[in-house]
Amino acid sequence: MSTPRTLLSRIPAAVVVTAAAALLFAITMGLRSAFGLFVSPLNSATGLGIAAISFALAVSQLVGGAAHPAAGLLAERYGAIRVVALGGVLLAVATALIPHAGTTAELVLVLALGAAAGAAAGSNGILLGIVHRHVAESRRGLASGIVGAGGSAGQMVMAPAAQALLAVAGWVSALWALALVALAIVPVALALAARSDRGALPAPAPAAPKVRADLRGDLRAALTSPLYWGVTAAFFVCGFHVSFLLAHLPGVIELCGLPPRVAGAWLGIVGLCNIVGSVAVGFVIRHVAMTRTLTALYAARAAGIALFVVAPKSEAVLMVFAVWMGITYMATLPPTVGLIGQAYGTGRLASLFGITMFVHQIGSFLGVWLGGIAFEATGGYDALWWADVGLALVAAAICLAIREPAPIAAAPVTVATAAPPGRWIGALGELTAAAALRARRSWRRLGPVRVTIPAAARVA
Protein backbone atom coordinates (compact mmCIF):
# COMPACT_ATOMS: atom_id res chain seq x y z
CA MET A 1 0.00 0.00 0.00
CA SER A 2 1.31 3.44 -0.93
CA THR A 3 2.05 5.82 1.90
CA PRO A 4 2.16 9.63 1.61
CA ARG A 5 5.97 9.44 1.72
CA THR A 6 5.99 6.87 -1.11
CA LEU A 7 3.68 8.99 -3.22
CA LEU A 8 5.81 12.05 -2.50
CA SER A 9 8.94 10.23 -3.64
CA ARG A 10 7.35 9.58 -7.04
CA ILE A 11 6.93 13.29 -7.75
CA PRO A 12 9.94 14.96 -9.38
CA ALA A 13 12.13 16.75 -6.85
CA ALA A 14 11.82 20.02 -8.79
CA VAL A 15 8.05 20.01 -8.28
CA VAL A 16 8.17 19.09 -4.58
CA VAL A 17 10.87 21.63 -3.76
CA THR A 18 9.14 24.42 -5.68
CA ALA A 19 5.77 23.69 -4.06
CA ALA A 20 7.27 23.55 -0.55
CA ALA A 21 9.14 26.81 -1.09
CA ALA A 22 5.94 28.44 -2.36
CA LEU A 23 4.04 27.25 0.74
CA LEU A 24 6.73 28.58 3.09
CA PHE A 25 6.66 31.91 1.30
CA ALA A 26 2.86 31.90 1.51
CA ILE A 27 2.93 31.57 5.29
CA THR A 28 5.57 34.23 5.91
CA MET A 29 4.16 36.72 3.40
CA GLY A 30 0.62 36.12 4.58
CA LEU A 31 1.61 36.96 8.15
CA ARG A 32 3.52 40.03 7.02
CA SER A 33 0.68 41.35 4.86
CA ALA A 34 -1.90 40.96 7.63
CA PHE A 35 -0.13 43.13 10.21
CA GLY A 36 -1.33 46.40 8.70
CA LEU A 37 -4.84 45.40 9.78
CA PHE A 38 -3.69 45.45 13.42
CA VAL A 39 -2.20 48.96 13.43
CA SER A 40 -5.45 50.74 14.31
CA PRO A 41 -6.59 48.21 17.00
CA LEU A 42 -3.11 48.23 18.51
CA ASN A 43 -3.14 52.02 18.60
CA SER A 44 -6.56 52.06 20.26
CA ALA A 45 -5.50 49.51 22.88
CA THR A 46 -2.10 50.99 23.75
CA GLY A 47 -2.43 54.68 22.83
CA LEU A 48 1.09 54.62 21.37
CA GLY A 49 0.15 56.67 18.31
CA ILE A 50 0.37 55.90 14.60
CA ALA A 51 3.87 57.41 14.28
CA ALA A 52 5.26 55.29 17.14
CA ILE A 53 3.70 52.09 15.82
CA SER A 54 4.92 52.95 12.31
CA PHE A 55 8.43 53.46 13.69
CA ALA A 56 8.36 50.07 15.43
CA LEU A 57 7.13 48.42 12.26
CA ALA A 58 9.74 50.28 10.21
CA VAL A 59 12.54 49.12 12.52
CA SER A 60 11.30 45.57 12.10
CA GLN A 61 11.59 45.98 8.33
CA LEU A 62 15.18 47.13 8.74
CA VAL A 63 16.03 44.28 11.11
CA GLY A 64 14.43 41.83 8.72
CA GLY A 65 16.57 43.23 5.92
CA ALA A 66 19.74 42.84 7.98
CA ALA A 67 18.70 39.31 8.88
CA HIS A 68 18.37 38.23 5.23
CA PRO A 69 22.10 38.14 4.40
CA ALA A 70 22.82 36.69 7.86
CA ALA A 71 20.23 33.98 7.28
CA GLY A 72 21.77 33.28 3.87
CA LEU A 73 25.23 32.84 5.39
CA LEU A 74 23.85 30.64 8.19
CA ALA A 75 22.01 28.53 5.61
CA GLU A 76 25.22 28.03 3.65
CA ARG A 77 27.07 26.94 6.80
CA TYR A 78 24.49 25.00 8.83
CA GLY A 79 21.90 24.04 6.23
CA ALA A 80 18.85 25.86 4.90
CA ILE A 81 16.30 23.54 6.52
CA ARG A 82 17.59 24.14 10.04
CA VAL A 83 17.50 27.89 9.53
CA VAL A 84 13.97 27.82 8.09
CA ALA A 85 12.56 25.60 10.86
CA LEU A 86 14.10 27.66 13.66
CA GLY A 87 12.78 30.81 12.00
CA GLY A 88 9.27 29.37 12.01
CA VAL A 89 9.36 28.68 15.75
CA LEU A 90 10.68 32.16 16.58
CA LEU A 91 8.12 33.79 14.27
CA ALA A 92 5.29 32.04 16.13
CA VAL A 93 6.67 33.18 19.50
CA ALA A 94 7.06 36.79 18.35
CA THR A 95 3.53 36.93 16.90
CA ALA A 96 2.04 35.62 20.14
CA LEU A 97 3.94 38.24 22.16
CA ILE A 98 2.64 41.29 20.24
CA PRO A 99 -0.46 41.78 22.45
CA HIS A 100 1.81 41.96 25.52
CA ALA A 101 3.91 44.84 24.14
CA GLY A 102 2.63 47.90 26.00
CA THR A 103 5.40 50.40 25.21
CA THR A 104 7.15 51.51 22.04
CA ALA A 105 10.40 49.84 23.10
CA GLU A 106 8.67 46.52 23.78
CA LEU A 107 6.84 46.69 20.47
CA VAL A 108 10.10 47.42 18.65
CA LEU A 109 11.78 44.39 20.26
CA VAL A 110 8.91 42.01 19.56
CA LEU A 111 8.45 43.11 15.96
CA ALA A 112 12.20 43.01 15.38
CA LEU A 113 12.29 39.39 16.62
CA GLY A 114 9.40 38.53 14.32
CA ALA A 115 11.08 40.21 11.36
CA ALA A 116 14.37 38.40 11.91
CA ALA A 117 12.54 35.09 12.30
CA GLY A 118 10.48 35.76 9.18
CA ALA A 119 13.66 36.52 7.24
CA ALA A 120 15.04 33.13 8.22
CA ALA A 121 11.83 31.18 7.57
CA GLY A 122 10.86 32.86 4.31
CA SER A 123 14.06 34.29 2.85
CA ASN A 124 13.80 34.65 -0.92
CA GLY A 125 17.50 33.99 -1.24
CA ILE A 126 17.37 30.73 0.77
CA LEU A 127 14.18 29.38 -0.78
CA LEU A 128 15.03 30.33 -4.36
CA GLY A 129 18.58 29.11 -3.89
CA ILE A 130 17.17 25.64 -3.07
CA VAL A 131 14.71 25.82 -5.96
CA HIS A 132 17.32 26.89 -8.51
CA ARG A 133 19.50 23.91 -7.60
CA HIS A 134 16.68 21.53 -8.55
CA VAL A 135 15.17 23.27 -11.59
CA ALA A 136 16.76 23.43 -15.03
CA GLU A 137 18.00 26.88 -16.03
CA SER A 138 15.32 27.33 -18.69
CA ARG A 139 12.63 26.82 -16.02
CA ARG A 140 14.09 28.90 -13.20
CA GLY A 141 12.23 32.09 -14.08
CA LEU A 142 8.92 30.24 -14.04
CA ALA A 143 9.82 28.45 -10.80
CA SER A 144 10.67 31.80 -9.18
CA GLY A 145 7.32 33.11 -10.35
CA ILE A 146 5.53 30.17 -8.74
CA VAL A 147 7.33 30.76 -5.43
CA GLY A 148 6.43 34.45 -5.63
CA ALA A 149 2.84 33.49 -6.38
CA GLY A 150 2.87 31.44 -3.19
CA GLY A 151 3.48 34.63 -1.23
CA SER A 152 0.54 36.18 -3.01
CA ALA A 153 -1.67 33.20 -2.22
CA GLY A 154 -0.76 33.56 1.44
CA GLN A 155 -1.78 37.21 1.37
CA MET A 156 -4.97 36.41 -0.54
CA VAL A 157 -6.05 33.91 2.13
CA MET A 158 -4.58 35.29 5.32
CA ALA A 159 -5.50 38.98 5.06
CA PRO A 160 -9.28 38.43 4.70
CA ALA A 161 -9.12 35.65 7.31
CA ALA A 162 -7.33 37.94 9.76
CA GLN A 163 -9.90 40.67 9.13
CA ALA A 164 -12.71 38.20 9.83
CA LEU A 165 -11.01 37.07 13.05
CA LEU A 166 -10.61 40.69 14.10
CA ALA A 167 -14.33 41.25 13.68
CA VAL A 168 -15.40 38.02 15.40
CA ALA A 169 -12.82 37.32 18.12
CA GLY A 170 -10.89 40.55 18.59
CA TRP A 171 -7.34 41.52 17.69
CA VAL A 172 -5.60 39.56 20.47
CA SER A 173 -7.20 36.23 19.55
CA ALA A 174 -6.55 36.94 15.89
CA LEU A 175 -2.82 37.38 16.57
CA TRP A 176 -2.68 34.15 18.56
CA ALA A 177 -4.33 32.34 15.64
CA LEU A 178 -1.68 33.74 13.29
CA ALA A 179 1.01 32.47 15.69
CA LEU A 180 -0.38 28.94 15.27
CA VAL A 181 -0.23 29.36 11.51
CA ALA A 182 3.45 30.33 11.81
CA LEU A 183 4.18 27.00 13.52
CA ALA A 184 3.13 25.23 10.30
CA ILE A 185 6.49 26.33 8.87
CA VAL A 186 8.25 23.55 10.80
CA PRO A 187 6.53 20.51 9.20
CA VAL A 188 6.73 22.13 5.74
CA ALA A 189 10.46 22.65 6.23
CA LEU A 190 10.84 19.00 7.22
CA ALA A 191 8.97 17.94 4.08
CA LEU A 192 11.31 20.14 2.05
CA ALA A 193 14.30 18.47 3.74
CA ALA A 194 13.06 15.06 2.60
CA ARG A 195 13.58 15.99 -1.05
CA SER A 196 16.04 18.90 -1.09
CA ASP A 197 19.06 16.58 -1.07
CA ARG A 198 17.74 14.52 -3.98
CA GLY A 199 17.40 15.47 -7.61
CA ALA A 200 19.71 18.47 -7.44
CA LEU A 201 21.21 19.37 -10.80
CA PRO A 202 24.99 19.31 -11.28
CA ALA A 203 26.73 22.59 -10.50
CA PRO A 204 28.29 24.60 -13.35
CA ALA A 205 31.70 23.33 -14.41
CA PRO A 206 34.56 25.20 -12.69
CA ALA A 207 36.36 27.79 -14.77
CA ALA A 208 40.02 27.58 -15.71
CA PRO A 209 42.40 29.18 -13.16
CA LYS A 210 43.37 32.01 -15.50
CA VAL A 211 39.81 33.33 -15.64
CA ARG A 212 38.92 32.53 -12.03
CA ALA A 213 39.15 36.20 -10.99
CA ASP A 214 36.52 37.11 -13.57
CA LEU A 215 33.91 34.59 -12.40
CA ARG A 216 30.67 36.36 -11.70
CA GLY A 217 29.95 33.84 -8.98
CA ASP A 218 32.65 35.61 -6.98
CA LEU A 219 31.08 37.67 -4.21
CA ARG A 220 33.67 40.44 -4.45
CA ALA A 221 33.09 40.86 -8.20
CA ALA A 222 29.36 41.21 -7.62
CA LEU A 223 29.72 43.80 -4.88
CA THR A 224 31.84 46.01 -7.16
CA SER A 225 29.52 45.64 -10.15
CA PRO A 226 27.26 48.50 -11.35
CA LEU A 227 24.87 45.85 -12.68
CA TYR A 228 24.35 44.35 -9.23
CA TRP A 229 23.88 47.69 -7.50
CA GLY A 230 21.57 48.94 -10.25
CA VAL A 231 19.24 45.96 -9.83
CA THR A 232 19.50 46.32 -6.05
CA ALA A 233 18.70 50.06 -6.15
CA ALA A 234 15.55 49.33 -8.14
CA PHE A 235 14.56 46.71 -5.56
CA PHE A 236 14.94 49.38 -2.86
CA VAL A 237 12.03 51.16 -4.54
CA CYS A 238 10.04 47.93 -4.47
CA GLY A 239 10.54 47.77 -0.70
CA PHE A 240 9.43 51.38 -0.20
CA HIS A 241 6.32 50.81 -2.25
CA VAL A 242 5.18 47.40 -0.98
CA SER A 243 5.73 48.08 2.72
CA PHE A 244 4.03 51.47 2.57
CA LEU A 245 0.95 49.81 1.06
CA LEU A 246 0.90 46.92 3.55
CA ALA A 247 1.28 49.16 6.60
CA HIS A 248 -0.80 52.19 5.65
CA LEU A 249 -3.37 51.22 3.02
CA PRO A 250 -5.85 50.13 5.76
CA GLY A 251 -5.43 53.65 7.20
CA VAL A 252 -6.00 55.18 3.76
CA ILE A 253 -9.23 53.18 3.46
CA GLU A 254 -10.30 54.36 6.92
CA LEU A 255 -9.65 57.99 5.90
CA CYS A 256 -11.90 57.45 2.88
CA GLY A 257 -14.75 56.60 5.25
CA LEU A 258 -15.07 53.03 3.99
CA PRO A 259 -15.83 50.03 6.26
CA PRO A 260 -12.91 47.96 7.67
CA ARG A 261 -13.88 44.92 5.59
CA VAL A 262 -12.69 46.79 2.50
CA ALA A 263 -9.10 46.66 3.80
CA GLY A 264 -9.16 42.86 4.08
CA ALA A 265 -10.80 42.55 0.67
CA TRP A 266 -8.24 44.96 -0.87
CA LEU A 267 -5.29 42.94 0.45
CA GLY A 268 -6.93 39.70 -0.69
CA ILE A 269 -7.48 40.99 -4.23
CA VAL A 270 -3.87 42.20 -4.39
CA GLY A 271 -2.75 38.71 -3.41
CA LEU A 272 -5.00 37.05 -5.99
CA CYS A 273 -3.86 39.31 -8.83
CA ASN A 274 -0.25 38.95 -7.76
CA ILE A 275 -0.49 35.21 -8.37
CA VAL A 276 -1.33 36.01 -11.98
CA GLY A 277 1.40 38.63 -12.22
CA SER A 278 4.11 36.51 -10.60
CA VAL A 279 3.45 33.42 -12.72
CA ALA A 280 2.99 35.45 -15.91
CA VAL A 281 6.28 37.26 -15.45
CA GLY A 282 7.96 33.87 -15.03
CA PHE A 283 6.74 33.01 -18.54
CA VAL A 284 7.66 36.40 -19.95
CA ILE A 285 11.28 36.51 -18.81
CA ARG A 286 11.96 33.28 -20.65
CA HIS A 287 11.60 35.24 -23.89
CA VAL A 288 11.87 38.93 -22.98
CA ALA A 289 14.92 40.61 -21.46
CA MET A 290 14.59 40.74 -17.67
CA THR A 291 15.84 44.33 -17.60
CA ARG A 292 13.03 45.43 -19.92
CA THR A 293 10.50 43.44 -17.92
CA LEU A 294 11.55 45.29 -14.75
CA THR A 295 11.35 48.62 -16.59
CA ALA A 296 7.76 47.91 -17.61
CA LEU A 297 6.78 46.78 -14.10
CA TYR A 298 8.14 49.86 -12.32
CA ALA A 299 6.63 52.18 -14.94
CA ALA A 300 3.25 50.47 -14.51
CA ARG A 301 3.44 51.00 -10.75
CA ALA A 302 4.15 54.70 -11.20
CA ALA A 303 1.20 55.08 -13.56
CA GLY A 304 -1.16 53.15 -11.28
CA ILE A 305 -0.31 55.15 -8.18
CA ALA A 306 -0.57 58.49 -9.99
CA LEU A 307 -4.01 57.60 -11.35
CA PHE A 308 -5.19 56.45 -7.93
CA VAL A 309 -4.10 59.69 -6.24
CA VAL A 310 -6.06 61.90 -8.65
CA ALA A 311 -9.12 59.62 -8.87
CA PRO A 312 -12.16 60.04 -6.60
CA LYS A 313 -11.93 57.56 -3.74
CA SER A 314 -14.64 54.92 -3.72
CA GLU A 315 -14.84 51.20 -3.08
CA ALA A 316 -14.87 50.50 -6.83
CA VAL A 317 -11.78 52.67 -7.42
CA LEU A 318 -9.95 50.91 -4.60
CA MET A 319 -10.75 47.50 -6.06
CA VAL A 320 -9.47 48.57 -9.50
CA PHE A 321 -6.34 49.91 -7.83
CA ALA A 322 -5.93 46.56 -6.03
CA VAL A 323 -6.08 44.70 -9.36
CA TRP A 324 -3.58 47.06 -11.01
CA MET A 325 -1.07 46.99 -8.18
CA GLY A 326 -1.59 43.29 -7.53
CA ILE A 327 -0.42 42.36 -11.02
CA THR A 328 2.89 44.17 -10.46
CA TYR A 329 3.06 43.70 -6.69
CA MET A 330 5.75 41.02 -6.40
CA ALA A 331 6.28 40.45 -10.10
CA THR A 332 9.64 42.21 -9.75
CA LEU A 333 10.98 39.25 -7.74
CA PRO A 334 11.57 36.67 -10.54
CA PRO A 335 13.48 39.03 -12.88
CA THR A 336 15.46 40.51 -9.97
CA VAL A 337 16.53 37.08 -8.70
CA GLY A 338 17.01 35.94 -12.29
CA LEU A 339 19.37 38.78 -13.15
CA ILE A 340 21.50 38.18 -10.05
CA GLY A 341 21.61 34.42 -10.59
CA GLN A 342 22.31 34.80 -14.31
CA ALA A 343 25.11 37.30 -13.74
CA TYR A 344 26.84 35.75 -10.73
CA GLY A 345 25.71 32.13 -10.57
CA THR A 346 23.45 30.26 -8.16
CA GLY A 347 26.21 29.29 -5.74
CA ARG A 348 26.22 32.75 -4.16
CA LEU A 349 22.56 33.55 -4.76
CA ALA A 350 21.53 33.20 -1.10
CA SER A 351 24.21 35.64 0.08
CA LEU A 352 23.91 38.12 -2.80
CA PHE A 353 20.14 38.26 -2.74
CA GLY A 354 20.29 38.52 1.04
CA ILE A 355 22.22 41.78 0.60
CA THR A 356 19.71 42.90 -2.04
CA MET A 357 16.90 42.15 0.40
CA PHE A 358 18.62 44.25 3.06
CA VAL A 359 18.58 47.22 0.68
CA HIS A 360 14.95 46.37 -0.11
CA GLN A 361 14.20 46.53 3.61
CA ILE A 362 15.86 49.94 3.93
CA GLY A 363 13.26 51.08 1.42
CA SER A 364 10.63 49.31 3.53
CA PHE A 365 11.82 51.13 6.64
CA LEU A 366 11.48 54.51 4.95
CA GLY A 367 8.12 53.71 3.38
CA VAL A 368 6.55 52.61 6.67
CA TRP A 369 8.17 55.21 8.94
CA LEU A 370 7.70 58.21 6.65
CA GLY A 371 4.10 57.14 6.10
CA GLY A 372 3.41 57.45 9.83
CA ILE A 373 5.22 60.79 10.04
CA ALA A 374 3.32 62.15 7.04
CA PHE A 375 -0.01 61.10 8.54
CA GLU A 376 0.60 62.77 11.91
CA ALA A 377 2.02 65.91 10.24
CA THR A 378 -0.61 66.40 7.52
CA GLY A 379 -3.48 64.05 8.34
CA GLY A 380 -3.00 62.21 5.05
CA TYR A 381 -0.58 60.36 2.79
CA ASP A 382 -0.45 62.46 -0.40
CA ALA A 383 3.24 63.35 0.02
CA LEU A 384 4.19 59.67 0.26
CA TRP A 385 2.07 58.75 -2.77
CA TRP A 386 3.88 61.25 -4.99
CA ALA A 387 7.27 60.27 -3.58
CA ASP A 388 6.42 56.69 -4.51
CA VAL A 389 5.56 57.74 -8.08
CA GLY A 390 8.90 59.53 -8.43
CA LEU A 391 10.89 56.60 -7.03
CA ALA A 392 9.13 54.13 -9.35
CA LEU A 393 10.06 56.25 -12.37
CA VAL A 394 13.70 56.37 -11.21
CA ALA A 395 13.70 52.57 -10.82
CA ALA A 396 12.28 52.16 -14.33
CA ALA A 397 15.03 54.40 -15.74
CA ILE A 398 17.74 52.43 -13.91
CA CYS A 399 16.49 49.09 -15.23
CA LEU A 400 16.19 50.47 -18.76
CA ALA A 401 19.87 51.50 -18.63
CA ILE A 402 21.17 48.11 -17.41
CA ARG A 403 22.69 45.79 -19.98
CA GLU A 404 21.30 42.27 -19.80
CA PRO A 405 24.05 39.76 -18.82
CA ALA A 406 24.45 36.48 -20.66
CA PRO A 407 24.07 33.29 -18.59
CA ILE A 408 27.08 31.52 -17.08
CA ALA A 409 28.00 28.41 -19.04
CA ALA A 410 27.03 25.26 -17.18
CA ALA A 411 28.09 21.66 -17.46
CA PRO A 412 25.82 19.45 -19.58
CA VAL A 413 23.00 17.98 -17.56
CA THR A 414 21.63 14.51 -18.18
CA VAL A 415 18.01 14.17 -17.17
CA ALA A 416 16.12 10.91 -16.84
CA THR A 417 13.32 10.68 -19.38
CA ALA A 418 10.94 9.01 -16.93
CA ALA A 419 10.57 12.05 -14.68
CA PRO A 420 12.62 15.02 -15.87
CA PRO A 421 13.05 17.62 -13.11
CA GLY A 422 11.18 20.79 -13.94
CA ARG A 423 9.01 19.22 -16.66
CA TRP A 424 5.81 19.58 -14.66
CA ILE A 425 6.65 23.16 -13.77
CA GLY A 426 7.35 24.23 -17.34
CA ALA A 427 4.64 22.36 -19.23
CA LEU A 428 2.18 25.24 -19.14
CA GLY A 429 4.85 27.67 -20.32
CA GLU A 430 4.88 26.15 -23.80
CA LEU A 431 1.28 27.27 -24.30
CA THR A 432 2.31 30.94 -24.23
CA ALA A 433 5.58 30.69 -26.16
CA ALA A 434 4.20 32.22 -29.35
CA ALA A 435 2.66 35.18 -27.53
CA ALA A 436 5.85 35.79 -25.56
CA LEU A 437 7.91 35.69 -28.78
CA ARG A 438 5.70 38.36 -30.32
CA ALA A 439 6.14 40.50 -27.21
CA ARG A 440 9.89 40.12 -27.47
CA ARG A 441 9.90 41.29 -31.07
CA SER A 442 7.80 44.32 -30.10
CA TRP A 443 10.31 45.23 -27.41
CA ARG A 444 13.17 44.94 -29.88
CA ARG A 445 11.58 47.52 -32.16
CA LEU A 446 11.95 50.05 -29.36
CA GLY A 447 15.74 49.65 -29.43
CA PRO A 448 17.82 49.02 -26.30
CA VAL A 449 19.17 51.76 -24.06
CA ARG A 450 22.55 50.58 -22.80
CA VAL A 451 25.22 51.65 -20.41
CA THR A 452 28.78 50.39 -20.39
CA ILE A 453 29.37 47.82 -17.65
CA PRO A 454 32.91 47.00 -16.46
CA ALA A 455 34.33 43.62 -17.46
CA ALA A 456 33.78 42.21 -13.96
CA ALA A 457 30.04 42.48 -14.44
CA ARG A 458 29.93 40.98 -17.95
CA VAL A 459 29.79 37.44 -19.13
CA ALA A 460 33.02 36.36 -20.77
Core vs surface per residue 359-397: b (16+ CB within 10 A) or e: bbbbbbbbbbbbbbbbbeeeeebeebbebbbebbbbbbe
The verdict on residue 230 lying in a domain is yes
The verdict on residue 210 lying in a domain is no
The verdict on residue 259 lying in a domain is yes
Q: What is the pLDDT of residue 433?
A: 38
The verdict on residue 166 lying in a domain is yes
What is the domain count for the chain? 1
Q: What is the pLDDT of residue 439?
A: 43
The model's pTM: 0.65
Q: What is the pLDDT of residue 87?
A: 86
Q: What is the pLDDT of residue 75?
A: 78
Residue 204, H or E segment: none
**What is the extent of the structural domain holding 151?**
13-198+216-403+425-447
Alpha-carbon span 159 to 162, nearest angstrom = 5
The verdict on residue 136 lying in a domain is yes
Report the CATH number at residue 441: 1.20.1250.20
Mean pLDDT in order along the chain per 10 residues (460 residues)? 54 78 86 84 86 88 78 78 86 90 89 82 74 74 75 82 88 92 87 59 46 50 84 92 86 85 86 81 84 92 93 90 87 86 75 82 88 86 90 93 69 38 35 39 44 38
The verdict on residue 409 lying in a domain is no
Q: What is the pLDDT of residue 457?
A: 38
Q: Which residues contact 409 (CB under 8 A, 6 or more apart)?
A: 204, 205
The verdict on residue 30 lying in a domain is yes
The verdict on residue 391 lying in a domain is yes
Q: Are 251 and 50 spatial neighbours (Cβ–Cβ below 8 Å)? A: yes
